Amino acid sequence: MKTTKEVLTNEFFESLQAAFEARYTASEPVCAFLDYFKDDIHLLVELDYPDLPCMSFVDDATTLLLAQVAFMKMGDAFKRIFDALSTSYDPLENFFTNGTFTHGKKEELTMEGTETTTPNGKIVVTQSGQATTSNDGSNTVGQGTTYDNAGFNSNATDEFRNISKNTQNVTTTQKLGDANNQNLPKTETDYDDYSTEKSFTDRTDTKEFSGTDSENKRGNSGIFSKQDLTQREIRLRIRNRILPIYVRMCVDVFASGVWQSDCAIF
């Protein structure tokens, strides 16, 4: 029966790393983390789990098959744990709000019956300024004759001569109001029993509103003091180290029976 240090070799961890890269691409931070420790990670197995027996099926399995089994059982779970423990944040802050919110509202108003509008009061129009009247080219012509050139035909117009002419070019200006522009002429409109009506039958008016708001807040909610948050962060990092978690999860895939380790983290 093989032990954990015989199964979890450098070759095994390289094959498991390849499985992570095939699933998440090599550019993912978790793949970069595994690549950084690939040459020394087996040392942690030898130190913490040197002679732990493994299940019998590993005796005849290839390293590639064992890596595939390990990834199937713990790959996605470790990726989530890695993302949670490697996230950048301020340990003294425990309140975060950062997002965009879209809101909308729809209003409908159904109207029936009659709407009546009754005006009240009066409309007053006041005239101001001055009015000008022109009469251009008005003239009067006077005609007559003398005894010397008078004929016997009383209807003969050629016997008359123009003896006078009066020409008038008249402009008349009327100023509205008195010297102080008071008492101006006005026109008034009174409303007497006047109204307008609108009738509605199953009329529905719809209004829709929408918008987008952004909110970005962070800080300490005040539930825990900064000292409490600091101690919690220290305990978190002592009890949850990424590399020991990774090795422990791989060991749990193949180890047989009930066992206890000084580096147990769960």
120-154 pLDDT tens trace: 667 666 666 665 666 565 566 565 555 555 555 55
Give the integer Cα–Cα distance in Å for 93 and 24. 31
151-165 pLDDT tens trace: 555 555 555 555 666
187 has which bridge partners?
Answer: 125
pTM for this prediction: 0.54
Q: Tell which residue, 173, 170, 167, has the closest CA to residue 135.
A: 170
Ramachandran angles phi, psi of 99, nearest 5°:
-175, 175
135 has which bridge partners?
Answer: 170
Give the integer Cα–Cα distance in Å for 127 and 107. 48
Give the integer Cα–Cα distance in Å for 246 and 160. 139
Of 68-82, 125-139, 213-227, the one with minimum mean pLDDT is 125-139
pLDDT at 168 exceeding the cut of 70: no
50-68 pLDDT tens trace: 889 999 999 999 999 999 9
Domain extents in the chain: 4-94+221-254, 119-194
pLDDT at position 245 is 95
pLDDT at position 211 is 77
pLDDT at 196 exceeding the cut of 80: no
Average pLDDT over residues 177-197: 68
